[in-house]
Amino acid sequence: MEMDRVRLNVSDGTTMEAVVARPASGAGPGLLVLQEAFGVNHHIRSVAERYAQRGFLAIAPELFHRSAPPGFEASYDAFDAIRPHMAALTTEGLLADLRAAYEWLRTQGKIDAERIAAVGYCMGGRCAYLANAELPLAAAISYYGGGIAPDMLDRAAKQHGPLLMFWGGLDAHIPPEQYRAVADALTAEGKDHVQAVFSKAGHGFNCDERPSYDESASREALSLVLEFLREHGVLSR
């Protein structure tokens, strides 16, 4: 397994850097790893690395590239540092970025283009849902994706691949009525989805570099992710 950086040309004329984690060998699946609001930091790079160790070609695009320098990352308590970059995001820009990262994966010689999925965390969880509405993904996994409800419920009808969505029962940022609205919208549209609520976990429970980390919930969620990807043909059994 090796890690490097690539530079992608985005359709709006901007250039976006991304961290890539490459598996040891062989053709396999591709994975979009979508960042939290704190950048493509050590944790997100570690996530990409762990998936590469399981055979994925993983790419983590820097979604703040229009407003932040390459390699931007902020500490988990530096909310003032991330606010201007969050405010600069647009749906159109994110869609262009997600497509650029997807197309990079799709054109890699050792990647099976029919087995590209997305996984995202917080802001990235919302982006995984957005990507699944616009790209022909084989599957998408969203961890505590804030803002899907109410802002993106109209995209439920456009979801391509099956969805696995994780929520924290103690998440102060995403109340139950929001994640229930997401589940109801997907069900109403007949979309294949799984909703898992960890009753004792809070926001950011998967990140082992945050105070909210919940080892048990993180471990159980990963087990569900891997089985979900096997069940839908993304990951070999």
Task: Report whether pLDDT(24) > 90.
Answer: no
Q: Give mean pLDDT, residues 103-121.
A: 91
Residue 203 a catalytic site member: yes
Instruction: Categorise residue 222: left if φ over 0, alpha if ψ from -120 to 50, beta otherwise.
Output: alpha
In the chain, where are the structural domains located? 2-231
Coil, helix or strand at residue 68: coil
Residue 193 a catalytic site member: no
- Which residue among the candidates 171, 193, 207, 214 is catalytic per the annotation? 171
Summarize pLDDT for 150-200 with one digit per residue, the tens.
Answer: 999 999 999 999 999 999 999 999 999 999 999 999 999 999 999 999 999
- To the question of domain 2-231 being in CATH 3.40.50.1820, the answer is yes
Task: Report whether pLDDT(131) > 90.
Answer: yes
In percent, the amount of the chain with pLDDT more than 70 equals: 100
**Residue whose token pair is 């703040």:** 64
- Rg (alpha carbons) of the chain, rounded to whole number: 16
Residue 171 a catalytic site member: yes
- Token pair, residue 217, equals 């919930």
Coil, helix or strand at residue 20: strand
Specify the pTM. Answer: 0.97
**Are residues 156 and 188 in contact, defined by beta-carbon separation less than 8 angstroms?**
yes
- Token pair, residue 233, equals 């043909």
The string over 61-100, giving b where at least 16 C-beta atoms fall within 10 Å of a residue's C-beta and e elsewhere, is bbbbbbebeeebbbebeeeebbeebeeebeeebbbbbbbb
- Which residue among the candidates 43, 122, 127, 214 is catalytic per the annotation? 122
Summarize pLDDT for 197-217 with one digit per residue, the tens.
Answer: 999 999 999 999 999 999 999
Summarize pLDDT for 53-74 with one digit per residue, the tens.
Answer: 999 999 999 999 999 999 999 9
Nearest Cα to Cα of residue 99 among 167, 187, 9, 175: 9
Edge to edge, the sheet with strand 111-121 lists: 2-9, 15-22, 57-61, 28-34, 111-121, 139-143, 163-168, 193-198
Nearest Cα to Cα of residue 18 among 77, 71, 90: 71
Q: Residue type at 102?
A: Y
